[in-house]
Structures are given as C-alpha cells and as structure tokens.
C-alpha cells in the first residue's frame, strides 16, 4: 500500500471514530418510543436503554460540554425529584451530575447524539432538529 492510500485510510478511520450516533432513551417511556419512530434511526445508531444501562460519567460530561450545564440535562419532572425533597434544595452543578449518574430517572430524555450534535429532551423543537440531523 502506498503512502497516499495509507493516508486516505487513516483519514477514513479518524472520520469513523468521530462519528458518534447514540440515543439514550427509556424503553418503557411511550414518549421516547414515539420519538424513536419519528426519527427512525438507522442501523448505525446505538440505542441505549438508560434503565438497564445508565449513562456513564464520560458521556454525561461530554454532553454537558455541548449543552452548557448539567441542570439542562436534569429532569425536574422525575417523581423522585419531589419525593427526595430536591425541589426544596439549592442544587449545584455537581449535585445535578451526581444524581443523574446515580439514578436514570433524573436524566431528561431522550438524549440524542449525532456526531458532534446533541439533542436533549422531548420538546417539539428538539425532536424536529434531531429528525433533520438523523435524516442525513
């Protein structure tokens, strides 16, 4: 193999490694199921059920860098948010991070990752943007 072909092969490998296509969802959530049907992710998209495989710290930190804060990723609608009295506390970014890593119910869902783009939650606006990204 000559140097040009080797260089092209290395560029392709790097390109593939940069592609991260994952959807963190809750399989028992009808809203997540509806969004998955709407987006219709291809076979190259990894579907991860957060109930059986909660998000890892590295991925959560990476997503936080994309969206700006852990609070933006945190679901204040979770039943445990009120039952644990968290709604009465002043939570720090570290608190939000720790709660999400400990308990999947605190994750806003779904998290949709398409290469360098991240879409969080189930608002019509976020789903529409994700749909465009995943359609390409």
pLDDT digit string (tens) for 43-59?
A: 889 999 999 999 999 99
Among candidate residues 109, 132, 119, 114, the one with its CA nearest the CA of residue 25: 109
* Residue 15 to residue 8: CA distance in whole angstroms: 11
Residue 28 included in any domain:
yes
pLDDT tens string 63-85: 999 999 999 999 999 999 999 99
The confidence score (pLDDT) of residue 6 equals 62
What would the two tokens of residue 108 be?
A: 């806003």
pLDDT in tens, 17-44: 456 899 999 999 999 999 999 999 988 8
Let me know if residue 72 belongs to a domain: yes
Please report whether residue 12 resides in a domain.
no
Return the pLDDT at 136. 72
Supply the pLDDT for residue 1. 60
120 three-state secondary structure: strand
CATH of the domain at 105: 3.40.30.10
> What does the pLDDT average to over 96-115?
95
First to last CA, the chain: 32
Query: Number of structural domains, the chain?
Result: 1
40: alpha, beta or left, given left = phi > 0 and alpha = psi -120 to 50?
A: left
Claim: this prediction has a pTM higher than 0.85: no
């Amino acid at each position: 193999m000559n140097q040009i072909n080797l260089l092209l092969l290395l560029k392709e490998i790097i390109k593939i490694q940069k592609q991260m296509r994952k959807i963190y969802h809750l399989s028992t959530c009808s809203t997540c199921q509806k969004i998955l049907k709407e987006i219709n992710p291809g076979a190259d998209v990894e579907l991860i059920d957060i109930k059986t495989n909660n998000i890892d710290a590295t991925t959560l930190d990476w997503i936080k860098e994309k969206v700006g804060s852990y609070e933006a990723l945190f679901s204040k609608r979770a039943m445990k948010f009120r039952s644990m009295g968290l709604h009465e506390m002043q939570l720090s970014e570290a608190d939000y991070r720790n709660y999400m890593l400990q308990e999947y119910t605190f994750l806003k869902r779904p998290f949709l990752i398409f290469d360098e783009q991240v879409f969080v939650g189930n608002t019509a606006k976020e789903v529409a943007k994700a749909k465009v990204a995943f359609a390409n």
